[in-house]
C-alpha cells in the first residue's frame, strides 16, 4: 500500500478537463487499490470519496508560483508520503519527492502563436521548471510523450503514457434528454480558442451547401468556455449563413444528452494531447468526425472519420456521409461505443500506480 499525496487545487481548476481528470483519478485509485490518498488544498466545495484525507494548505502567496514554491511544499513536508502527484502542469518546486507530474499537452510551448499573451513567457518558464523538477511525468498519449520530450529535452524513459477513461455519466442511461435541441445538430465540446479550428467547420458547412453535398445545413452547438473566439466565430457564421448555438457549460446529464442526440460530434482541432470529449462522445453513441492531428487518431482509431485540419471539402464530405447514410451513421455509433469501452478510469488508475512506483524508484 502507498500513501499518495495529491494536489487538490486541480479539483477547483477553471479547466473542465483537468477537474474531470483529477476527480475521476482519485475515485478510481481508491476503488481499485488499497492506497491511502491525502488531498492537499482542495476547496470545501470539492466532492471527494469518504476515504480521502483532506489537508488544508495555508496560502501565504496569491500566485500559482507561490503555491508551488512556498505554500504547497510547506504543507506537504509535514506529512509522510510515499509519492506526491501534481495532476496538472504545476508541481511543488522544493523538497517534495518522489514527485509525479501530469502534463496533458504542451501546445503552449510547441505552438506559441496560439497564446499571444503578455504572461505566457512566464507561464512557459514556470511549466518547464515544474517538468524538470518531477521524478516522473505522466501524460495522456504517445503523441504528448514525444512532444514533451522534444519541448523540454527530457528523456522519454521518464515519461509514462497513461490514457484517460470515460466516466459513468457518459455510459448507460441517458439523462436530461429534454435539454438537447429538437432539430438536427452538430456538436463540439471544449473551450473556444484558436487551436480548436472551429472556423474550418463553419467554412466546410458553407462549401458543402454550395456544392450540394449538404442539402440542409444543421445547427452547430458549441459547448464550452469562450477563450476569445466567440465574436470571430459569430462573424464568420453570419457570413457563411451557418447557425450557431452557444450552450455554455452544461452539467453532466445535459452534456450526455447533447452527445447522444447529435447528428455528429465534430472536432477539427489542430492539436490535442488527448481529447476527452472525443471519448465521451463515442461512449454516448455520437458519430465522430475529427481532424487527424495531435493525439486524436490515438483516441478515435478507426471508429470515426478523420480528415486533415485544413481540408474543408473532406470535412463537408464526412458530415454529408453521416447525414445521408443512416446505415453508416449507425455503424459509426456502434464502433464508437466499442472503441470508448476500451478506455476506463480503472486502467488509468492502474497505470498511474505504475508511474508512482517509477517515481519512487527514481529517488532511491
The dihedral region occupied by 190, where left means phi > 0, alpha psi between -120 and 50, and beta the remainder, is left
Residues 72 and 144 in one domain: yes
Q: Which three cell numbers stand for residue 357?
A: 512506483
Residues 108 and 95 in one domain: yes
Rounded distance between C-alpha atoms, residue 314 and residue 98, angstroms: 47
Residues 336 and 348 in one domain: no
Residues 62 and 142 in one domain: yes
Phi, psi for 238 (deg, rounded to 5) = -65, -45
Residue 362 pLDDT: 84
Residue 174, classed as helix, strand or coil, is coil
Residue 179 pLDDT: 66
Residues 232 and 143 in one domain: no
Count up the domains in the chain and report the number: 2
Residues 191 and 313 in one domain: yes
Residue 94's domain comprises 3-165+344-362
Burial class (CB in 10 A: 0-12, 13-18, 19+), 306: buried
Pairing of strands 159-161, 185-189: unpaired
Rounded distance between C-alpha atoms, residue 195 and residue 111, angstroms: 9
Residues 319 and 271 in one domain: yes
Residues 304 and 178 in one domain: yes
Give the distance, in angstroms, between the CA of residue 332 and the centroid of all CA atoms in the same chain. 22
Residues 262 and 116 in one domain: no
Residue 283, classed as helix, strand or coil, is helix
Q: CA 67, 69, 74, 76 torsion: positive or negative?
A: positive
Residues 159 and 191 in one domain: no
Residue 62 pLDDT: 83
Phi, psi for 102 (deg, rounded to 5) = -95, 125
Residues 70 and 129 in one domain: yes
Contact yes or no for 292/276 (Cβ under 8 A): no
pLDDT in tens, the chain (364 residues): 899 999 999 998 888 889 999 999 999 999 988 889 999 999 888 888 888 999 999 988 888 888 898 999 999 999 999 999 999 999 999 889 999 999 999 999 999 998 877 778 888 999 999 999 999 999 999 999 999 999 999 999 999 999 999 988 898 655 555 567 889 999 999 999 999 999 999 999 999 999 999 999 999 999 999 999 999 999 999 999 999 999 999 999 999 999 999 999 999 999 999 999 999 999 999 999 999 999 999 999 999 999 999 999 999 999 999 999 999 999 999 999 999 999 999 999 999 999 999 999 987 6
Rounded distance between C-alpha atoms, residue 358 and residue 353, angstroms: 9
Q: Which three cell numbers stand for residue 266?
A: 465534430
Q: Which residues contact 364 (CB under 8 A, 6 or more apart)?
A: none
Residue 160: how many other CB atoms lie within 10 Å: 20
DSSP, residue by residue, 94-135: SS--SEEEE----HHHH-GGG---TTHHHHHHHHHHHHHH-S
pTM for this structure? 0.94
Query: In CATH, what number is assigned to the domain containing residue 292?
Result: 3.40.50.2000
Residues 67 and 208 in one domain: no
Q: Which three cell numbers stand for residue 282?
A: 463515442
Phi, psi for 338 (deg, rounded to 5) = -65, -45
Q: Which three cell numbers stand for residue 271?
A: 492539436
Compute the chain's Rg from CA coordinates: 21
Amino acid at each position: 500500500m502507498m500513501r499518495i499525496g495529491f494536489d487538490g487545487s486541480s479539483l477547483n481548476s477553471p479547466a473542465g478537463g483537468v477537474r474531470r481528470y483529477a476527480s475521476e483519478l482519485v475515485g478510481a485509485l481508491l476503488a481499485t487499490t488499497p492506497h491511502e490518498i491525502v488531498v492537499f488544498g482542495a476547496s470545501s466545495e470539492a466532492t471527494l470519496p469518504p476515504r480521502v484525507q483532506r489537508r488544508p494548505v495555508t496560502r501565504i502567496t496569491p500566485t500559482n508560483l507561490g503555491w508551488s514554491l512556498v505554500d504547497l511544499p510547506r504543507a506537504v513536508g509535514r506529512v509522510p508520503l510515499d509519492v506526491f502527484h501534481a495532476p496538472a502542469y504545476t508541481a511543488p518546486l522544493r523538497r517534495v519527492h518522489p514527485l509525479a507530474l501530469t502534463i496533458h499537452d504542451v501546445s503552449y510551448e510547441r505552438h506559441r502563436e496560439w497564446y499571444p499573451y503578455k504572461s505566457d513567457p512566464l507561464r512557459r518558464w514556470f511549466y518547464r521548471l515544474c517538468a524538470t523538477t518531477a521524478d516522473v511525468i505522466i501524460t495522456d498519449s504517445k503523441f504528448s510523450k514525444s512532444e514533451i520530450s522534444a519541448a523540454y529535452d527530457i528523456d522519454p524513459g521518464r515519461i509514462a503514457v497513461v490514457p484517460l477513461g470515460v466516466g459513468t455519466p457518459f455510459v448507460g442511461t441517458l439523462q436530461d434528454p429534454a435539454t438537447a435541441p429538437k432539430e438536427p445538430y452538430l456538436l463540439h465540446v471544449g473551450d473556444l480558442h484558436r487551436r480548436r479550428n472551429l472556423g474550418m467547420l463553419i467554412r466546410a458547412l458553407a462549401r458543402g451547401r454550395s456544392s450540394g453535398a449538404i442539402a440542409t445545413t444543421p445547427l452547430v452547438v458549441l459547448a464550452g468556455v469562450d477563450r476569445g473566439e466567440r465574436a470571430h466565430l459569430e462573424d464568420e457564421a453570419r457570413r457563411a449563413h451557418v447557425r450557431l448555438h452557444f450552450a455554455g457549460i452544461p452539467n453532466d446529464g445535459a452534456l450526455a444528452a447533447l452527445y447522444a442526440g447529435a447528428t455528429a460530434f465534430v472536432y477539427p482541432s489542430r492539436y490535442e494531447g488527448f481529447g476527452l470529449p472525443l471519448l465521451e462522445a463515442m461512449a454516448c453513441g455520437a458519430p465522430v468526425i475529427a481532424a487527424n492531428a495531435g493525439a486524436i487518431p490515438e483516441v478515435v482509431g478507426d471508429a470515426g472519420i478523420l480528415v486533415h485540419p485544413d481540408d474543408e471539402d473532406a470535412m463537408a464530405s464526412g458530415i454529408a456521409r453521416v447525414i445521408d447514410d443512416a446505415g453508416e451513421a449507425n455503424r459509426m455509433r456502434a464502433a464508437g461505443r466499442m472503441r470508448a469501452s476500451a478506455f476506463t478510469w480503472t486502467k488509468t488508475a492502474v497505470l498511474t500506480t505504475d508511474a508512482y512506483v517509477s517515481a519512487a524508484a527514481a529517488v532511491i
